[in-house]
Structures are given as C-alpha cells and as structure tokens.
Amino acid sequence: TKPIFLEDRQAQACIQANNVFIHLFGVFDGHSGPGCSNAVAQRLFDYIAVLLNFPNDLKLIMEKAKNYQ
C-alpha cells in the first residue's frame, strides 16, 4: 500500500494590532502538492500582521521577528 501524504496545512496566530488581540486560524488546501499550502501557512499571517500595524511600527515588528527565530 502507498503511504498517505497529506498536502493540506494549517496555521494559527494571535496578532496584537492597535492594542487589540486578533486570533487568526487557517486551513490551506494543497492542490497537486504541498508547495503552495506550505508557503501560505508559513507567510500569510505575517503579511496580515504587518498590514494591521502602523507603518512606523514595522521596524519594531521586524526586530521582534528576527529575535524570535
């Protein structure tokens, strides 16, 4: 029998924007392979977080992200 390989991915995040906590949840369907669903699950919420914060907060956000990894 063939091993089952799931192409779907999930992600969750808690974003603080303008002193409000926003919880995001996502399930991403990987059609014909996991490449796209991996990329979206890993990056989408980061892009949303940047868009929700004021532009002058971007430097602080990037520093926190760099120190987090």
Q: Kindly report, residue by residue over 25-55, the tens digit of the pLDDT.
A: 999 988 778 888 999 999 999 888 878 876 6
Distance CA 18, CA 21 (A): 8
pTM for this model (two decimals): 0.65
Q: What percent of the chain has pLDDT over 70?
A: 93
With 70 as the cut, is the pLDDT of residue 10 above it? yes
- Locate 46 and state its tokens: 């980061």
Is residue 69's pLDDT more than 60?
no
CA 18, distance to chain mean position in Å, is: 19
Q: What's the confidence (pLDDT) of residue 55?
A: 67
